[in-house]
Amino acid sequence: MKAIRRFTVRTVLPEALAGLEELATNLRWSWHEPTRQLFAQLSPTLWEESAHDPIGLLGEIDPSRLDELAADHGFVAQVNERLHELHSYLTEPRWYQSLPEGAPAAIGYFSPEFGIAAALPQYSGGLGILAGDHLKSASDLGVPIIGVGLFYRAGYFAQAISADGWQQESYPVLDPDGLPLSVLRHPDGTAGQVALALPDGRTLYARVWQVAVGRIRLLLLDTDIPENDDELRSVTDRLYGGGGEHRLLQELLLGIGGVRAIKLFTELTGSPTPEVFHTNEGHAGFLGLERISDLIGVGLSFDEALQVVRAGTVFTTHTPVPAGIDRFDSGLIGQYFSSELLPGVDVDDVLLLGAENYKGGEPGTFNMAVMGLRLGQRANGVSQLHGEVSRGMFGQLWPGFDTADVPITSVTNGVHAPTWTDPSLLALAASRLGTTDTTSCDWNSPAVTDLDLWEVRNGMRAQLVQDARRRVTAALAEQNPGTITPQWVSDLLDPDVLTIGFARRVPTYKRLTLMLHDEDRLRSILLSADHPVQIVIAGKSHPADEEGKRLIQKLVQFASAPELRTRLVFLENYDIAMAQLLYPGTDVWLNNPLRPLEACGTSGMKAALNGSLNLSILDGWWAEFYDEENGWAIPSADSAGDSAERDKLEAEALYDLIEHQIAPRFYDRGSDGVPKRWVQSIRHTLATLSPELSADRMVKEYVTRLYVPAAEAERTISATSFAGARELAAWKQRVSDAWPLVAVTHVESGGVDTVPQVGDVLHVRAHVQLDGLSPDDVAVEVVYGRAREGDNLERTHHVALEPESAAPGVAVQFIGAVPLTRAGSFGYNVRVTPKHPLLASAAELGLIAVAD
């Protein structure tokens, strides 16, 4: 008989162990190994069965065991010590508290998903894991972030693989009472809620859950409450589920409801109000409109409020392909914003923010990323290469500007080292180097021997093999209940064989099955007598992605051959718990996307933090960090005639690297059984990549390069009753009205000999028609560099020209000088752009005039 309802009854802890409740409900345990070890002591068996979930463990443990531990003075002392450490961690000054005055008092960080721990399954892949790591490092650094997301009652989905290799999805409903959540409450005990007005007089209500992530508070909005009818209760049913209108409701709730949740949270707790709002991808972009509505309510116009919101907003794009962006029919957007959803905000102003009203855009489409860029004065991609791709992809929003001038910078992603570094490597660093901070210790120190490193790596691999066998055993038992586990499962993988890992979402561009291009050659690599190889694979395809599912099926069917099934393994239901053993347990991490479609690819970073070497296409983060010693680069066949030829060439390069470089180096052992050359690369990887790939580095970059400047801009524009916003809005309107007649009418140059030489100075005079604008309203610059085919300028530099007259007029002359500092081809032009101290870039208005 099945239960008609499930709920979790929490254990009443003995008074001596009351501290376990606080330790269990603050997710710092997910990256604090001493706290994890404390919970494991309660019951090692239940700790494993609960998938290392303290609340799940406390819900299952026998009260007599708790009474026994409550009488154990040594264990009670450990609980109190861990609790004292947590309180110190939550209150002591950290890196952020040492910053000069001007850092924002609080930052709102919005994301549709957060991957923090397997015990809180509110993530689908890299975007959510990145968001979780962002919060964890912010906590460690003392950055005052308030996170905002949605609480999905069924998370993403649980994956199973059928006997014929087809992905099957299920959506187990989560019980919030069994999760590390608490309801945000008013002083009278009633639950905190936000409400959104919908068309036809309906209202969407959402309860606000709180999650303690170390020092960070994460707010999750949940619509599955009695105040909503059945249809609206399902708005937060599952992550990335439902059609266009369902997704729109989720994003309205995340953005608009999220800002309202922060306002409620700050009112109830006295926490500082965010000065900066960070939108992690476009899903939360509507947050800017809620803030505009609030500012209109205090007397600003839409355009004036827009300046304030832009100044304090940071937008991060994660997708390198237009197909990855959420887009809605403009009519649907108009329907929702014609209601009482946002008082004072006109629907036409909303539609203009997301309109694809540029060359190549689709009329009648509302683009969430475009709105994010128009609402955020500062924007970034998530690796250097992705920044370049993003500037090209969104360049039409700034017509006339060179791609390099498009105002999208990059902050390369990082991963949270304490979460993703295996405890055995932490223990090695502590015992030999005196620290558990694996990102800052000296991995080249002789205090750590090659044998030390190799033994730890062997242990990680053996740990993965054991976990893979356990998971395959469980999956077979689920498929074939009541049958005996086949004997071959006990031989699944070999703890002494070179192990390659590949795990990620399964869209087609990530090319899960590139390794199958030549099945015979892959088979020979796996079954080599001298240099055997084994590959462990995991990943989920989106439920609606039939082609992705076919790729999984193709690989699973290939791996099912009796001679291969112990060498090539697909592990179903990829999640954080699996990943924490998979990344450390692999000797080589494989990534072979179609370049440049991998925005960053943080899975390889997590492997590198454990000394795994990377084998990857030069895409995402690997394009900027590969140095020929930390792994191998798969050559990209970008110039191939078609995709089939490209796949063939890149697959052959992959096979060649494994056969002729990777496997021989791995099995080249000294008399002590240690592969010296391989360990040299492990040591180098740990020493050089650990600091750079750390999420601490990433968060510090966001703070110094984006959050602090955004806070300063927001304060400046809001000072004196928003005088700056009013002035900037009026100035933008004046400049935009005049710009059609702004032109560089004539350029004169002189000062160089007939044959220019290095050391000469080129004098430039530009005649600029300003149509009544002041010279102070514009920046006039010489743009010079190497002149290439078609007179295109490369490696450009800018020199400002100064006006000969400061008076407004129809035409003004600007003069300046350019030193010729290098030999070779030289070319220049003159450009005019709007100039104002409250602009963050010359391209911000998308207005430019250049000499013909």
Question: What value does the mean pLDDT take over residues 274-297?
Answer: 97
Residue 242 has pLDDT above 90, yes or no: no
Say what the pLDDT of residue 10 is: 67
Contacts of 819 (CB under 8 A, 6+ apart): 759, 760, 761, 762
Q: Give the per-residue pLDDT at 795.
A: 84
Q: How confident is the model at residue 825, as a pLDDT?
A: 86
* Distance (Å, whole) CA 618 – CA 624: 8
Q: In the predicted model, what is the mean pLDDT of residues 271-281?
A: 97
> What CA–CA distance (Å, rounded) separates 254 from 372?
14
Q: Which stretch of DSSP H or E encloses residue 817?
A: strand 811-819
Report d(CA 697, CA 363) in Å as an integer: 41
Angle at 398 between CA 717 and CA 744, to 5 degrees: 95
Least-confidence region, from 2-6, 188-192, 671-675, 733-737: 2-6
Average pLDDT of the segment spanning 81-95: 98
The answer, yes or no, to whether residue 3 has pLDDT greater than 70, is no
Share of the chain above pLDDT 70, in %: 98
pLDDT at 259 over 80: yes
Question: pLDDT per residue over 120-162, tens digit each?
Answer: 999 998 999 999 999 999 999 999 999 999 999 999 999 999 9
Q: What is the pLDDT of residue 9?
A: 66
The CA distance from 58 to 646, in Å, is 53
Q: Convert the pLDDT of each residue in 388-397 to its tens digit.
A: 999 999 999 9
- Tally of CB atoms within 10 A around 822: 9
- pLDDT surpasses 90 at 558: yes
User: For residue 596, is the peptide bond before it cis, meaning its omega torsion is within 30 degrees of 0?
Assistant: yes
Q: Using pLDDT thresholds of 50, 70 and 90, give the confidence band for residue 706.
A: very high
pLDDT the model gives residue 612: 98
Q: How far apart are CA 166 and CA 553, in angstroms?
A: 5
Range of weakest confidence among 176-180, 251-255, 347-351: 176-180
Q: What average pLDDT does this structure show over 511-539?
A: 97
Q: 8-22, 511-525, 589-603: lowest mean pLDDT where?
A: 8-22
* Residue 773 in tokens: 């604008």
Question: What's the pLDDT tens digit per position in 828-841?
Answer: 999 999 999 999 99
- Both tokens of 648, joined, read 């063939």
What amino acid occupies position 17?
L
Closest CA to 822 of 742, 736, 753, 758: 758
CA distances in angstroms from 742 to 236, 572, 736, 810, 832, listed in the order given: 50, 61, 10, 9, 8
Average pLDDT, the chain: 95
pLDDT of 547 strictly over 90 = yes
- Interval 311-332 mean pLDDT: 93
- Taking each helix axis from N to C end, the angle separating 423-433 and 450-479, rounded to the nearest 10 degrees, works out to 160
Per-residue pLDDT for 806 more than 70? no
**Which residue has 């609206």 as its token pair?**
232
Between CA 589 and CA 587 the distance in angstroms is 7
Please compute the mean of the pLDDT values over residues 668-681 and round it to a whole number: 97
- Percentage of the chain beyond pLDDT 90 is 90
Is residue 754 very low, low, confident or very high in pLDDT (cuts 50, 70, 90)?
A: confident
pLDDT band at 691 (very low <50, low <70, confident <90, very high): very high
Q: What is the pLDDT of residue 7?
A: 60
